[in-house]
Amino acid sequence: VVANAGVLSWGRLWDMTDEQWNTVIDVNLTGTWRTIRATVPAMIEAGNGGSIIIVSSSAGVKATPGNGHYAASKHGLTALTNTLALEVGEYGIRVNSIHPYSVATPMTENDAMMAVFAAHPSYLNAFAPMPYLPVGQSATGKRSDFMGADEVAEVVVWLAGDNSGVLSGSQINVDRGVMKY
């Protein structure tokens, strides 16, 4: 099972509308929980173990100003991952979360994000630039400030397979090392 739900909006916590808060929490956190609720019973009944990969974000392991509701939802997925790993381990089901940073999707770049950064330039300090990987170490072989979704998918495929069979309850940063900055 790959539980991948995500929406994002921008603004300071006290400036957000109820709709902004509710939409992000409902999709990112509650939507993932609903996926788990719908699939885990069938996995247990099948009796052959399995792997659940929860797609969080770097914002699920590090605070990000300007989108605190998004960070809260993604931190919630970290707790959900860890709890579920303990609850389903007896059935041979592994649960891990991945935490991508700067993936080239329409959600990453938008006018609202730029407006927040323009109004609060100090927020940029919480977002390190994507480090360069030499040719042959990235999917495209080209310098990019964003990863491709295909690069993240490779990690998902690995976690779904037997070669990651010793991992459960782990948070995997998919970030080209940027979280070390």
Q: Which residues are catalytic?
A: 70
Rounded Cα distance between 39 and 22, Å, is 24
Please give the single-letter amino acid code of residue 150: D
Report yes or no: 28 and 74 within 8 Å, Cβ to Cβ. yes
Report yes or no: 46 and 2 within 8 Å, Cβ to Cβ. no
> What does the DSSP 8-state code read for residue 111?
H
> What does the DSSP 8-state code read for residue 143?
-
In the numeric block, which tokens belong to residue 38?
Answer: 């719908």
Residue 104: Cβ within 10 Å count: 15
Q: How far is CA 77 from CA 25, 65, 110, in A?
A: 11, 18, 24
